[in-house]
Amino acid sequence: MNRWTQTILLAKREFVTRARSKVFLISMGVIALVIIAIGPVVSLFADDPEPIQIGIVGAEPAGIEESLAGRAALSEQQVEITRYDSLAAAEGDLEEGAVEALLVDGTSIVFNEEESLVVVRIVTDSVNSRARIALMENLGLTAAEMQQLNDPGQIVVRTLVVADPEERPRRVAAFGGMVVLFMTILTFGQFVAMGTVEEKQNRVVEILLSRVKASQVLVGKVLGIGALGLVQLLVMAAAALVAINIIDIEGVSVGSIGAEIVAGVVFWFLLGYTLYAFLYAALGATVSRQEDLQGGLVLPLILLGPAFFIAQLAVADPDLPIVRFGSFFPPWTPMIMPIRTALGSAQPWEVALSIALVVACIVLLVWIGSRVYTGALLRTGGTVKLRDAWRSTGA
């Protein structure tokens, strides 16, 4: 049996063992359900705003109710009118919050405590509109003349740059993909480290090393857990697409996001995970107990953490200098370059260069990680220093 066949078998063993874990299956199911549940929850709290309650007391302009409804509709709102026979009754309801404002004698607007600029604008525009119509009727103008005065002509509004209708869905997808990448890279990178420590604790690694090389164990572990991470990533992507359909965000749909963005997230997960997995494995090999592992996992978080915040800047402006730099800095590239690509900011040569830099960094980490992993894997009894693990394999 050649080395690659042995490595694939090790990867398969890692994948099957962890895929059968109840913890993994339950957590993956819970994550998918939570993502899908976002849709109904958002829809539940995204109902139409409550109608604006306006009270009218005393003399009122003719047709004021229709005018108020029309003006409110311009702001995608509704109004409900309550008429009162006395000012005292109207003010009583205003104090109790039954209405938001009162229109008194068609000449004044009364609030309880704080004024609402929206209500002031709607009511003022409505009253002024009815006053103009009444004045024009008194002057004996014809219906056509009144219409011309009320609507002298439409102002044409245009922009120098035509807005891209797909920009918003791409931004939504880019932000969601960035969050998913951050979570999956950290989660499955930690799985690699935890699996390494677990095999050291139960001495399974000693049995494996009697038949295969340490580098094969390392690569098999990275491949097996990476395949598991890819499965969960696809499940999360499917759940997210279902949630998008449920939420029904204006201008955002599965079709507008595009398969290329989803494929990009998967591609950059594979690169990002591979980049960090060998680092996690090397760090996991330096400790002998799960209790000591958390301290060793600080380094990957320090490397990846800043990328999360820079990626949020990239969603707002993908051409910022720090964003452009981060997209070429290999530890940050898997988080930032997908956003620049999704938003159309990155040129093809930039994408190609960033991929080449990440691949080169992966090759370097495979070499360094394999040497540290080999040097620390069989050393138990405490934490092994990286320098000692490196030297133990020979200069």
The answer to whether 52 and 119 are in contact (CB under 8 A) is yes
Report whether pLDDT(197) > 80. no
Which residue's entry shows tokens 């918003």? 168
Position 44 scores a pLDDT of 58
DSSP helix/strand/coil, 227: helix
Give 206's DSSP letter: H
Give the pLDDT of residue 167.
64
How far is residue 240's CA from residue 232's CA, in Å, rounded to a whole number?
12
What is the full DSSP assignment across 260-327?
HHHHHHHHHHHHHHHHHHHHHHHHHHT-SSGGGHHHHTHHHHHHHHHHHHHHHHHHH-TT-HHHHHHT
What is residue 56's three-state secondary structure?
A: strand
H-helix segments, 46-116? 64-74, 87-96
Matching residue, tokens 């949020």: 312
Task: Answer whether residue 375 shows pLDDT above 80.
Answer: no
237/176 Cα distance (integer angstroms):
10
As a whole number of Å, the CA-based R_g of the chain is 32
Which tens digits make up the pLDDT trace of 173-182?
777 777 877 8
**What is residue 151's predicted lDDT score, i.e. its pLDDT?**
61
Average pLDDT, integer, range 220-242: 82
| More reliable by pLDDT, 84 or 375 | 84
pLDDT at 331 over 50: yes
Averaged pLDDT, 259-286: 80
In the chain, where the domains are located: 3-43+167-391, 52-150
In the prediction, which pLDDT does 251 show?
Answer: 47
What local confidence, expressed as pLDDT, does residue 394 receive? 54
Instruction: Give dist(CA 145, CA 386) in Å, integer.
Output: 88
* C-alpha closest to that of 372 among 388, 352, 355: 388
What per-residue confidence (pLDDT) applies to 369?
Answer: 74
Region 213-222: mean pLDDT is 79
pLDDT at 324: 92
Identify the band that residue 328 occupies on the pLDDT scale cut at 50, 70 and 90: very high
pLDDT at 4 over 50: yes
In sequence order, what are the beta bridge partners of 55?
Answer: 82, 102
C-alpha span between 377 and 391 (Å, rounded): 13
Quick one: pLDDT band at residue 165, thresholds 50, 70, 90?
low
- Phi and psi at 141, nearest 5°, equal -75, 150
DSSP 102: E
Which amino acid does the sequence have at 96?
E
Residue 228 pLDDT > 70: yes
Sign of the CA dihedral 254, 258, 262, 263? positive
C-alpha angle 151-155-160 in degrees, rounded to nearest 5: 170
% of the chain surpassing 70 pLDDT: 76
Calpha distance 395→23 (Å, rounded): 42
Residue 395 pLDDT more than 50? no
Average pLDDT of the chain is: 77
Q: Is 89 in contact with 127 (CB distance < 8 Å)?
A: no
pLDDT of 249 over the 80 cut: no
Q: What is the pLDDT of residues 282-314, one digit of tens each?
A: 777 777 676 667 776 787 888 888 888 898 888
pLDDT at residue 247 is higher than 80: no
The span from the CA of 8 to the CA of 22, in Å, is: 24
Q: What angle separates helix 259-285 from helix 167-201, to the nearest 10 degrees?
A: 20
Q: pLDDT-derived band of residue 279, with 50, 70 and 90 as boundaries?
A: confident
Region 186-192 average pLDDT: 82
- Strands 108-110 and 101-104 turn out to be antiparallel
Q: Does domain 52-150 have CATH number 3.40.50.300?
A: no
Rounded mean pLDDT of 26-33? 80
Q: How far apart are CA 173 and CA 241, in angstroms?
A: 10
Residue 123 above 70 pLDDT? Answer: yes
Provide the whole-model pTM: 0.61
> Across residues 213-225, what is the average pLDDT?
81
